[in-house]
A and B are shown apart, each in its own frame.
Chain A
Amino acid sequence: MTTRLFGEPVQRREDPRLLTGQGRYLDDLGRDALAAAFVRSPHAHARIRDIDVAPALDVPGLVAIYTWEDLPERVGRALPLLIPHPALTHGRTAYPLARDVVRHVGEPVVMVVASDRYAAEDACALIEVDYEPLKPVVGLEEAVQGAALVHEDVPGNVGAHLVQEVAAADGRGAGEVIEAAPHTLSFRLDIERSASMPLEGRGVYARWDGRDLRVYSSTQTSTSVRMAVAATLGLPLPHVEVIAPDVGGGFGVKIVHPWPEEILVPWAAMTLGREVKWAEDRREHFISSAHERAQIQHVRVGFDDDGRVLGLDVTIRHDHGAYTPYGIIVPIVTSTQLLGPYKIGAYRVAFTSVYTNTVQVTPYRGAGRPQAVFCMERTMDKIARHLGKDRTEVRAVNFIGPEEFPYDQHMTFQDGRPLIYDSGNYPEMLRMIKELIGWDEHERRPGRGIGIGCYVEGTGVGPYEGGHVQVTSDGRVHVSTGLTSQGQGHETVFAQIAATELGVPIERVSVVTGDTRRFGYAVGTFASRAAVMSGNAIALACRKVREKALRIAADALEADPADLAIDDGMVHVAGAPSASIPLSTVAVLANPLRYAFDDEAAKATQFSATASPDRPPVAEGEEPGLEGRDYYSPVRSTFASGMHAAIVETDPDTAEIKVVRYAVVHDCGRLINPMIVEGQIHGGVAQGIGGALYERMVYDSHGQLVNASFMDFLMPYATEIPHVETAHLETPSPLNPLGIKGAGEAGVIPVSAVIASAVEDAEGIDVDRMPISPSELFELRELRELRAAME
Chain B
Amino acid sequence: MEHEITLVVNGATRRVNVPARRLLSDCLRHDLGLTGTHVGCEHGVCGCCTVLLDGRPVRSCLTFAVTVDGQEITTVEGLAREGAPPRGLRSAGSAATGATGEGGGTERPSRPHDVEEVKPALSPVQRAFAECHGLQCGFCTPGFLCTVTAFLRDNPAPSDDEIVEGISGNLCRCTGYQNIVKAVHRAAELLAEET
A residues lining the B interface (CB < 8 Å): 11-25, 27-31, 116, 118, 197-200, 216, 243-249, 251, 281-282, 476, 486-489, 491, 510, 512, 515, 518, 675-676, 678-679, 682-687, 709-711, 715, 717-719, 721, 723-724, 747
Q: B175 touching A683 by the CB < 8 A rule?
A: yes
Q: Can you pick out 30 interface pairs between chain A and chain B where the beta carbons lie within 8 Å of each other?
A: A15-B130, A16-B119, A19-B135, A20-B80, A21-B36, A21-B77, A22-B77, A22-B120, A23-B138, A24-B110, A25-B38, A28-B108, A29-B110, A198-B139, A199-B48, A199-B140, A248-B38, A248-B139, A248-B140, A282-B43, A489-B136, A510-B113, A510-B116, A510-B117, A512-B113, A515-B112, A686-B175, A711-B45, A717-B169, A717-B177
Distance A11 CA – B130 CA, assembled complex (angstroms): 7
Q: B137 touching A198 by the CB < 8 A rule?
A: yes
Of residues 21 to 62 in B, which have CB atoms within 8 Å of A's CB atoms? 21-22, 29-30, 33-43, 45-46, 48
Q: B181 touching A718 by the CB < 8 A rule?
A: yes
Cβ 8 A contact of B142, one of A21, A251, A489: A21
Distance A21 CA – B80 CA, assembled complex (angstroms): 11
Distance A174 CA – B174 CA, assembled complex (angstroms): 41
A27: chain B residues at CB < 8 Å are 29, 35, 39
Distance A228 CA – B120 CA, assembled complex (angstroms): 38
Distance A709 CA – B167 CA, assembled complex (angstroms): 20
Q: B45 touching A710 by the CB < 8 A rule?
A: yes
Q: A676 touching B133 by the CB < 8 A rule?
A: yes
Distance A684 CA – B175 CA, assembled complex (angstroms): 8
B145: chain A residues at CB < 8 Å are 19
Of residues 145 to 165 in B, which have CB atoms within 8 Å of A's CB atoms? 145, 163-165
A684: chain B residues at CB < 8 Å are 176
Q: With A11-B131, A25-B38 in contact, do A685 and B171 touch (Cβ < 8 Å)?
A: no
Distance A249 CA – B173 CA, assembled complex (angstroms): 8
Distance A489 CA – B134 CA, assembled complex (angstroms): 12
Distance A723 CA – B177 CA, assembled complex (angstroms): 9
Residue of B46, B77, B112, B178 most packed against chain A (CB within 10 A): B112
In the complex, which residue of chain B has the Cβ closest to the Cβ of A205? B110
Residue of A243, A718, A719, A723 most packed against chain B (CB within 10 A): A718
Cβ 8 A contact of B129, one of A19, A245, A247: A19
B180 within 8 A of A: yes
Cβ 8 A contact of B89, one of A20, A28, A216, A246: A20
In the complex, which residue of chain B has the Cβ closest to the Cβ of A214? B110
Q: With A487-B136, A687-B173, A715-B173 in contact, do A20 and B76 touch (Cβ < 8 Å)?
A: yes
Q: A25 touching B139 by the CB < 8 A rule?
A: yes
Distance A747 CA – B112 CA, assembled complex (angstroms): 29
Query: Which 8 residue pairs are nearest across A and B when measured between Cβ atoms?
Result: A21-B36, A487-B137, A248-B139, A18-B138, A686-B176, A682-B176, A487-B136, A28-B35
Q: A512 touching B114 by the CB < 8 A rule?
A: yes
Q: B19 touching A718 by the CB < 8 A rule?
A: no
Distance A17 CA – B121 CA, assembled complex (angstroms): 10
Q: B138 touching A31 by the CB < 8 A rule?
A: no
A116: chain B residues at CB < 8 Å are 30
B13 within 8 A of A: no
Of residues 61 to 110 in B, which have CB atoms within 8 Å of A's CB atoms? 75-77, 79-80, 88-89, 92, 94, 96, 107-108, 110
B6 within 8 A of A: no
Given A22-B94, A244-B112, A718-B181; 12 other pairs, CB 8 A cutoff: A14-B138, A19-B129, A21-B36, A22-B118, A29-B110, A248-B137, A510-B116, A683-B176, A685-B176, A718-B164, A719-B164, A724-B178
Q: A20 touching B35 by the CB < 8 A rule?
A: no
Q: B171 touching A710 by the CB < 8 A rule?
A: yes
Taking the closest CB of chain A, its distance from the CB of B14, in whole angstroms, is 16
A710: chain B residues at CB < 8 Å are 41, 43, 45-46, 171
Q: B139 touching A200 by the CB < 8 A rule?
A: yes
In the complex, which residue of chain B has the Cβ closest to the Cβ of A491? B113
Interface of A, helix, strand, loop or mixed by DSSP: loop
Taking the closest CB of chain A, its distance from the CB of B62, in whole angstroms, is 12
Q: A199 touching B76 by the CB < 8 A rule?
A: no
Q: A709 touching B112 by the CB < 8 A rule?
A: no
Q: With A19-B141, A710-B171 in contact, do A12 and B80 touch (Cβ < 8 Å)?
A: no
B residues lining the A interface (CB < 8 Å): 19, 21-22, 29-30, 33-43, 45-46, 48, 75-77, 79-80, 88-89, 92, 94, 96, 107-108, 110, 112-114, 116-120, 122, 126, 129-131, 133, 135-142, 145, 163-165, 167-181
Distance A197 CA – B48 CA, assembled complex (angstroms): 14
A248: chain B residues at CB < 8 Å are 38, 40, 137-140
Taking the closest CB of chain A, its distance from the CB of B26, in whole angstroms, is 8
Q: A717 touching B130 by the CB < 8 A rule?
A: no
Residue of A15, A476, A675, A709 most packed against chain B (CB within 10 A): A15
Q: With A14-B138, A29-B110, A710-B46 in contact, do A199 and B19 touch (Cβ < 8 Å)?
A: no
Cβ 8 A contact of B112, one of A19, A246, A675, A724: A246
Distance A12 CA – B181 CA, assembled complex (angstroms): 18
Distance A679 CA – B138 CA, assembled complex (angstroms): 13
Residue of A118, A246, A683 most packed against chain B (CB within 10 A): A683
Q: B92 touching A20 by the CB < 8 A rule?
A: yes
Q: With A17-B117, A199-B171 in contact, do A709 and B138 touch (Cβ < 8 Å)?
A: no
B181: chain A residues at CB < 8 Å are 718
Distance A238 CA – B114 CA, assembled complex (angstroms): 20
Cβ 8 A contact of A21, one of B22, B75, B112, B177: B75
In the complex, which residue of chain A has the Cβ closest to the Cβ of B132? A675
In the complex, which residue of chain B has the Cβ closest to the Cβ of A116? B30
A243: chain B residues at CB < 8 Å are 112
B171: chain A residues at CB < 8 Å are 199, 710, 715, 717
A281: chain B residues at CB < 8 Å are 42
Cβ 8 A contact of A679, one of B33, B35, B120, B179: B179
Q: A22 touching B110 by the CB < 8 A rule?
A: no
Taking the closest CB of chain A, its distance from the CB of B106, in whole angstroms, is 11
Taking the closest CB of chain B, its distance from the CB of A40, in whole angstroms, is 16
Distance A678 CA – B176 CA, assembled complex (angstroms): 10
Q: With A20-B92, A199-B48 in contact, do A682 and B179 touch (Cβ < 8 Å)?
A: yes
Distance A281 CA – B46 CA, assembled complex (angstroms): 13
Taking the closest CB of chain A, its distance from the CB of B53, in whole angstroms, is 17
Q: A19 touching B130 by the CB < 8 A rule?
A: yes
A246: chain B residues at CB < 8 Å are 112-113, 137-138
Q: B126 touching A20 by the CB < 8 A rule?
A: yes
Q: A16 touching B43 by the CB < 8 A rule?
A: no
B92: chain A residues at CB < 8 Å are 20, 22
Distance A17 CA – B163 CA, assembled complex (angstroms): 25
Distance A99 CA – B171 CA, assembled complex (angstroms): 37
Distance A656 CA – B19 CA, assembled complex (angstroms): 46
Q: B173 touching A16 by the CB < 8 A rule?
A: no
Q: B173 touching A19 by the CB < 8 A rule?
A: no
A13: chain B residues at CB < 8 Å are 117
Q: A249 touching B139 by the CB < 8 A rule?
A: yes
Distance A718 CA – B174 CA, assembled complex (angstroms): 12
A28: chain B residues at CB < 8 Å are 29, 35, 108
Taking the closest CB of chain A, its distance from the CB of B133, in whole angstroms, is 5
Taking the closest CB of chain B, its distance from the CB of A298, in whole angstroms, is 33
Q: A709 touching B41 by the CB < 8 A rule?
A: yes
Q: B176 touching A487 by the CB < 8 A rule?
A: no
B38: chain A residues at CB < 8 Å are 25, 199-200, 248
A515: chain B residues at CB < 8 Å are 112, 114
Cβ 8 A contact of A718, one of B131, B138, B180: B180
B46: chain A residues at CB < 8 Å are 199, 282, 710
Q: B116 touching A476 by the CB < 8 A rule?
A: yes
In the complex, which residue of chain A has the Cβ closest to the Cβ of B143? A199
In the complex, which residue of chain B has the Cβ closest to the Cβ of A200? B139
In the complex, which residue of chain B has the Cβ closest to the Cβ of A680? B136
Q: A198 touching B36 by the CB < 8 A rule?
A: no
Q: With A282-B42, A711-B43 in contact, do A31 and B176 touch (Cβ < 8 Å)?
A: no
Distance A682 CA – B42 CA, assembled complex (angstroms): 27
A510: chain B residues at CB < 8 Å are 113, 116-117
A216: chain B residues at CB < 8 Å are 110
A25: chain B residues at CB < 8 Å are 35, 38, 139
